[in-house]
Amino acid sequence: MEVTFIQGALIAIWAMISGLDAWLQAFFIFRPIIVCTITGLILGDLQLGVIAGGLTELAFAGLTPAGGTQPPNTVLTGIMTVVIAYSNKIAPATAIGLSLPFAMLMQYILLFYYSSFSLFLPRFDKYAAEGNAKAFKRLNYIPLTIVTLSFGIVAFLSAYAAQGPMHTLVTSMPHWLTHGFELAGGILPAVGFAMLLKVMLKQQYFPYLLLGFVMASMIPFSNVLPVALVGAVFAMIEFYRTRENDKLAAQIKELKSSGNVNNNGGGGMDDGI
């Protein structure tokens, strides 16, 4: 199925919105699970968008910009995963691997902007020294506009203009290579989730992880919704238990503080006697 010009234009607009959010780190609508879902909605295949969003989100769960480190761009990954899967009728897991070159392209563009935008710093210093708040504010819009337009242009060219060469590339691939991309795309969510757990997993929560693994892997379900509901139940139990423990600790601390005051007062009376 081909991406029409209108769909390409809508994808470009969506890429500008989510790309600006990724630059500002404001509402976190740039995460793949949202980007893929909206892209699937634009292409008229919401189910594909949701499935691709879940897989891509897991693959990028442990990747986040930190300082000068810039991981492959999540916006272009999300958009192109859905576009490639939609236009070439392949599995989203395979499309994840094929979307990585577009994500790397946007990654290097953003890295270039990180360096080149330093040219604006002397002008910012000048306006700050002069107390010219209006000029200082207007100057901020220049890099934001450049970044926003870049996301839109790259997304439009990748999703609409390059769909012919991309389709030719995918159809010309041998089966073993396509299957390799599918396997790599299936492994990426596990790698991303493992990276996330390496940072977030605490020893006291490991039993929940083990129980979820056993339920998801060894008990036959038609979908993973029962496992998710059980996980939500355990999360609620842990939340309310922690809150009650915090209240109890605060009460004990308050009682100890009151007891210390009484003991000190009592000691003073004994000394007087």
Q: Write the Ramachandran bin of 89: left for phi over 0, alpha for psi from -120 to 50, otherwise beta.
A: left
Provide mean pLDDT across the span 161-175: 74
Residue 273: pLDDT band (50, 70, 90) is very low
Are 155 and 37 part of one and the same domain? Answer: yes
Same domain, 32 and 112: yes
Same domain, 189 and 111: yes
Q: What is the mean pLDDT of residues 107-118?
A: 86
| Pair (31, 73) in one structural domain | yes
How far is the C-alpha of 19 from the C-alpha of 34, rounded, in Å? 12
- What's the whole-number mean pLDDT along residues 222-244? 86
**Residue 187 and residue 62 share a domain:** yes
Mean per-residue pLDDT, 246-270:
68
So what's the pLDDT on residue 218?
82
Residue 19: Cβ-neighbour burial (10 angstroms; 0-12, 13-18, 19+):
buried
pLDDT of residue 92: 86
pLDDT single digits (tens) 128-152: 898 888 898 889 999 999 999 999 9
Q: How many domains does the chain have?
A: 2
**Residue that terminates a domain, selected from 152, 177, 200:** 200
Give the Cα separation of 94 and 126 in Å (integer): 51
Q: For residue 30, what are its two tokens?
A: 């740039």
Which span out of 68-77, 79-88, 263-272 was modeled with the highest average pLDDT? 79-88
pTM score above 0.85: no
* 158 shares its domain with 185: yes
Query: Which of 200, 218, 244 is the last residue before a domain boundary?
Result: 200
Q: State whether 61 and 178 are in the same domain.
A: yes
Highest mean pLDDT among 20-34, 51-65, 202-216, 219-233 belongs to 20-34
Do 55 and 106 fall within a single domain?
yes
Judgement on whether residues 78 and 184 belong to the same structural domain of the protein? yes
Determine the structural domain holding residue 241 and report its residue range.
202-273
Least trusted range by pLDDT, from 89-93, 191-195, 252-256, 265-269: 265-269
| H or E segment to which residue 110 belongs | helix 92-116
Q: What is the distance between the alpha carbons of residues 40 and 81, in angstroms, rounded to a whole number?
A: 10
